């Protein structure tokens, strides 16, 4: 049987190449509207997405009415796929956790240095023709404490790299035992301990109803004024309005984000602040990570559809 695959987001060429070598027919159609995706999906046995495509219940119902058997997410996060609807319709969902973990962890470490040394405003200043040293003195990260909220694949790599840079690491993860956390060379901490003690707070958890706006006005009232918050996980984990107020009022030293509630974050007051730095969802945007997730998602889907994995 010849299977048909739709790739609805831009992806490395190794992905369609693997499908083609397996004898599959592949269509690459990025930028489809929800209505266009819903209308087309029933013709395909498999759908490959990254973060741009939202796979809704309507899309999955349309696919289930046709040929759709599997959705593959080239990446770790699954918040753009309605998992309950997929299960209800008998559609398999696969993803590629861990393969972009090092890329994200390296970005977190980069943000540690950027924030601590005030490199954002320093670079803007010198490009504007100013030579400013006063007011741009930073702080060293060695000897400081980083608090990790979540100690999965990315969190563990951040911990390892942070320890190598001389930081103490404390972490909270409700899915791990104290022994699991300590095995990673990290000290277990409750959330309130992280808010009160950490010089850097880095988020490494999925977006769920329980984690939306995890860091809001109440938490921001508990953190050190000298602390920095980093979110390279998911938009919506931090209340962006509350963060903007805390940064503006000097109740937080700085923050960094690679992800936002709305992407792009047009009109966000955060973007005008010197003590806030950001990137356009670049966490997994390295050559190595892009190749890894593209290759793995294709392999998983080929195996499933050809019956290697039921």
4-99+288-305 and 101-278 agree in CATH topology: yes
Give me the phi and psi of 28, to 5 degrees please.
-110, 115
Please identify every stretch of the chain with a pLDDT value under 70, giving residue numbers as ranges.
Answer: 1, 308-310
pTM assigned to the model: 0.86
What CATH architecture applies to the domain 4-99+288-305? Answer: 3-Layer(aba) Sandwich (3.40)
Contacts 24+ apart (CB under 8 A), 249-255: 250/225, 251/220, 251/221, 251/225, 252/220, 252/223, 252/225, 252/227, 252/228, 253/115, 253/224, 253/225, 253/226, 253/227, 253/228, 254/115, 254/118, 254/228, 254/229, 255/115, 255/228, 255/229, 255/230, 255/231
- In this structure, are residues 284 and 104 in contact, taking their beta carbons and an 8 Å threshold? yes
**pLDDT value at position 308?**
65
What pLDDT is attached to residue 309? 55
Tens-place pLDDT, residues 27-80: 999 999 999 999 999 999 999 999 889 999 999 999 888 999 999 999 888 889
Give catalytic residue positions.
234, 263, 281
The whole-number pLDDT of residue 51 equals: 85
**Cross-strand pairs, 93:** 71
Each domain of the chain, given as residue ranges in start order, spans 4-99+288-305, 101-278
pLDDT above 90 covers a percentage of the chain that reads 91
CATH class of 101-278: alpha beta
Count the residues in the chain.
310
Q: Are 233 and 205 in contact (CB under 8 A)?
A: yes
Write down the pLDDT at residue 310.
Answer: 47
Q: What is the pLDDT of residues 74-111, one digit of tens each?
A: 988 888 999 999 999 999 999 998 899 999 999 999 99
């Amino acid at each position: 049987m010849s299977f048909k695959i739709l790739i609805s987001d831009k992806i490395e060429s190794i992905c369609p190449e693997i499908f083609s070598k397996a004898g599959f027919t592949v269509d690459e159609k990025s930028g489809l509207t929800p209505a266009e995706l819903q209308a087309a999906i029933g013709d395909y046995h498999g759908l490959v997405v990254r973060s741009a495509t939202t796979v809704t219940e309507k899309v999955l119902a349309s696919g289930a009415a046709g040929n759709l058997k599997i959705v593959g997410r080239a990446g770790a996060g699954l918040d753009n796929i309605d998992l309950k609807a997929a299960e209800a319709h008998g559609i398999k969902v696969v993803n590629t956790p861990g393969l972009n973990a090092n890329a994200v962890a390296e970005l977190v470490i980069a943000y540690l240095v950027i924030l601590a040394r005030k490199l954002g405003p320093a670079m803007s200043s010198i490009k504007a023709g100013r030579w400013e040293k006063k007011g741009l003195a930073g702080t060293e990260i060695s000897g400081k404490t980083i608090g990790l909220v979540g100690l999965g694949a990315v969190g563990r790599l951040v911990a390892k790299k942070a320890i190598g840079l001389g930081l103490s690491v404390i972490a909270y993860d409700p899915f791990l035992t104290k022994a699991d956390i300590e095995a990673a060379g990290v000290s277990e901490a409750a959330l309130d301990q992280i808010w009160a003690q950490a010089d850097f707070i880095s988020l490494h958890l999925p977006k769920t109803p329980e984690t939306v706006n995890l860091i809001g006005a109440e938490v921001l009232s508990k953190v050190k004024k000298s602390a920095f918050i980093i979110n390279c996980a998911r938009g919506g984990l931090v209340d962006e309005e509350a963060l903007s107020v805390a940064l503006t009022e000097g109740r937080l030293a700085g923050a960094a984000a690679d992800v936002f509630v709305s992407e792009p974050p047009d009109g966000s007051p955060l973007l005008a602040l010197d003590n806030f730095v950001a990137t356009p969802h670049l966490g997994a945007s390295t050559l190595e990570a892009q190749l890894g997730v593209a290759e793995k998602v294709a392999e998983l889907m080929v195996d499933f559809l050809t019956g290697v994995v039921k």
